[in-house]
Amino acid sequence: MNLSQGISAARNPILSRTLPTVFIVDDDVSVREALELLVRIAGWRAETFASARDFLSWPRISGPSCLVCDVTLPDLSGLDLQQLVADRHEMPIIFITGHSDVPMSVRAMKAGAIEFLIKPFADEALLNALRDAIERSEDTLRHAASGRLLQHRYESLSRREREVMGLVVAGKMNKQIAGQLGISEITVKAHRAKMKRKMGAKSLADLVRLAASLGIAPIACS
């Protein structure tokens, strides 16, 4: 790799409250040091490991991250490590290797790797892959945070407000909902307004979308 070219080409990522972390797993110390320098100059945090087991002993982080991993490692292989961290959807994987192996690269990509680089590779090729990986990580984390917020909002609804929500997203009118629940239409309107406010829904379309995201099935009238 041409480090000087990578340094001149690198540009800082968009700043966020949590600096993205690039995990580097390679048993070659010279490769680890070169990649660590490249990552740090690009504006990210770097953590290096000589083996897959060393990496697995590191605590899982909550911020944006990605993994740059050699395929051939002294203990577990890079592909074995990929399987062990398959639940870390917020951590895209970039594989690097000194040997061109099409079946191996296909296996890695099918398992979710976003890039498979053959050594020696241009620094800019790795930087481009890192930018893509970090952007994907940030998107995944934002989506997960939105999901948790939405679930919290739904859990804040009273039992009656949840019933009203289910009937509203089923397309029922206030009069129909009142008859279904055995309450007055005025009471339905009050529950409906409070429910929409708690859910952060500005329209019926918003409410239907939120219900779909939560996996809430519309309540059918009896």
CATH number of 166's domain: 1.10.10.10
Looking at the domain assignment, is residue 40 inside a domain?
Answer: yes
Last residue of a domain, one of 149, 182, 198: 149
Specify whether 45 is located in the same domain as 141. yes
Last residue of a domain, one of 115, 149, 183: 149
Specify whether 145 is located in the same domain as 170. no
Write the DSSP string, 48-93.
EESSHHHHHTSPPPSS-EEEEEES--SSS-HHHHHHHTTT-TTS-E
% of the chain with per-residue pLDDT over 90: 77
Q: What is the pLDDT of residue 3?
A: 36
Looking at the domain assignment, is residue 221 inside a domain?
Answer: no
**Radius of gyration of the CA atoms of the chain, in A:** 25
Looking at the domain assignment, is residue 10 inside a domain?
Answer: yes
Q: pLDDT digits over 2-11, tens only? A: 433 343 333 3
Residue 119 sits in a domain of what CATH number? 3.40.50.2300
Looking at the domain assignment, is residue 219 inside a domain?
Answer: no
Q: What is the pLDDT of residue 29?
A: 96
Q: pLDDT digits over 19-47, tens only? A: 999 999 999 999 999 999 999 999 999 99
User: What's the whole-model pTM score?
Assistant: 0.74
Residue with tokens 């009238």: 221
Least confident of 4-18, 71-85, 112-126, 178-192: 4-18
CA–CA–CA angle 45, 51, 56 (5° rounding)? 70
Give the CA dihedral 214, 220, 221, 222, nearest 10 degrees: -130
Coil, helix or strand for 97?
A: strand
Q: Domain limits at 207?
A: 156-214
Q: pLDDT digits over 173-195, tens only? A: 999 999 999 999 999 999 999 99
N- to C-terminal Cα separation, the chain? 69
